[in-house]
Amino acid sequence: MPIELPEPIAAYVEANARLDVEGMLKPFAEDAVFVEVGERLQGRAAVRKLIEEAVIPVKAIFTPDTVRHEGRQIVVEGPAHGDFPGSPLRFTYRFELENDTIKFLEVTL
């Protein structure tokens, strides 16, 4: 049974499955913060660069299988597969939403 995700997160995941940069970027707020493996990026331009340089070349596709709420955060977990060492790897995505956009996203292993 598929899990239910809030619309901005679902849109991001669906676009990621198509490796669609514009679709992945669309749900983010203009000033969104994205933290990946300790690196903190802010703003859509920085998020675009990360997607174009770290996601698309290795065809990294995240397939969430669990979701839970922890305070203001929506925690989504699941494997990501692609052309990278160790694939598939299990990731945790911690989202914070504001005004139907992704305001904050932290990705950890």
User: In the 8-state DSSP scheme, what is residue 98?
Assistant: E
pLDDT, tens digit (0-9, with 9 covering 90-100), for 7-55:
999 999 999 999 999 999 999 999 999 999 889 999 999 999 999 999 9
pLDDT, tens digit (0-9, with 9 covering 90-100), for 30-42:
999 999 988 999 9
Question: Closest Cα to residue 25, out of 37, 36, 16?
Answer: 16
Q: Which amino acid is at 28?
A: F
Using a 10 angstrom Cβ sphere, with 0-12 exposed, 13-18 middle and 19 or more buried, the burial of residue 38 is exposed
Residue 1 has pLDDT above 60, yes or no: no
pLDDT, tens digit (0-9, with 9 covering 90-100), for 77-107:
999 999 999 999 999 999 999 999 999 999 9
